[in-house]
Amino acid sequence: MKPLMLQGHERAITQIKYNREGDLLFSSAKDVTPNVWYSLNGERLGTYNGHTGAVWCIDVDWKTTKFLSGAADNTLRLWDVATGVEIGNISSNSAVRTCSFSYSADLASYSTDQAMKQDCEIFIVDARNDESFKSSAPILRMTVPDSKVTSLIWGTLDHTIITGHEDGAITQWDLRTGKSIESVKDHQGSINDMQKNRQGTMFVTASKDKTSKLFDVDDLSVHKVYVTERPVNSASLSPKYDHVVLGGGQDAMDVTTTAAQAGKFDARFFHVIFEEEFARVKGHFGPINSLAFHPDGESFSTGGEDGFIRVQSFDPTYKEFRFDY
């Protein structure tokens, strides 16, 4: 089926996310305005105006009432989804790289970049309402001195968070003690993305070391490995089938010198259990920076360095496809 092309950003897409029901698709790019779209027809519903730097990360709560965005203008902003009004703004000492609502969405966490004389830090804030959000003191503040956080998700319920780091390490933090419980290093390169499965028992990583791995949320054990020839920027698990989709490609700075074919900008589908690739979807002219499955598993979206978002519904052949076993 012909994909929907969402053209609203002026720069490379940094992150895309569906809300829980999947009727809306949120997107951010290296321009200053996050967008929200109807996922069904690709119509733009609105924008969130206010940032003054590239927006690195976004998240939406489970009720689709609050929207979070972190940017290179050293702010984390909270928005009202429906009206697009900014209801909270937290300043930090460096760019906000990751942000995420907890399961209850009462809490939110975000991390900041390493910068001059400034260590990478992880913050937990109260995101219940604008009052609590604005109160300057975070609930928890953890310093990460060695390797900066490049991706962040919440663990089971609201007890833990899991961070992926630039050196390939993955760390689990206990929010009651503010200490790391566990740290594993199964990747050789920066963890660009982590996404949980529907139940939140497992998550899939996307790493610069050209692989993607399936981890257990609780003990961080590796269960599956998906190997490609290019850095992986994003990976998402299908809520419906045992499929995982990987997106990435040649580093953005090398792209101009190589042909699109060689960059391998396809979205690549692997079987979760067999670790075998079975399909590719072409489309972007640059690396895929972020991708997501629709919560109903009937379509998926990709956001690329080329500034486009492509919403691709699956053909019947995809649904009929079965591995022999």
List contacts with another protein (CB under 8 A): 20-23, 38, 40-41, 62, 103-104, 106, 156-158, 199-202, 216, 218, 223-224, 229, 259, 261-262, 272-274, 295-296, 323-325
Among residues 42 and 88, whose Cβ is nearest to another protein?
42
Residue 69 CA to residue 88 CA, distance in Å, equals 10
Among residues 14 and 102, whose Cβ is nearest to another protein?
102
Among residues 73 and 298, whose Cβ is nearest to another protein?
298
Among residues 38 and 285, whose Cβ is nearest to another protein?
38
Minimum Å gap between C-beta 21 and another protein is 7
Nearest to 305 by CA among 277, 278, 283, 284: 284
Task: Give Cα 20 distance to the centre of its chain.
Answer: 14
Minimum Å gap between C-beta 273 and another protein is 5
Nearest to 237 by CA among 255, 249, 223, 258: 223
Report the DSSP pairing between strands 96-101 and 86-91: unpaired
Minimum Å gap between C-beta 199 and another protein is 5
First to last CA, the chain: 28
Minimum Å gap between C-beta 14 and another protein is 25
For residue 160, the one-letter residue type is: T
DSSP 59-76: EE-TTS-EEEEEETTSEE
For residue 199, the one-letter residue type is: Q
- Across-strand partners of 4? 311
Among residues 40 and 87, whose Cβ is nearest to another protein?
40
Minimum Å gap between C-beta 210 and another protein is 10
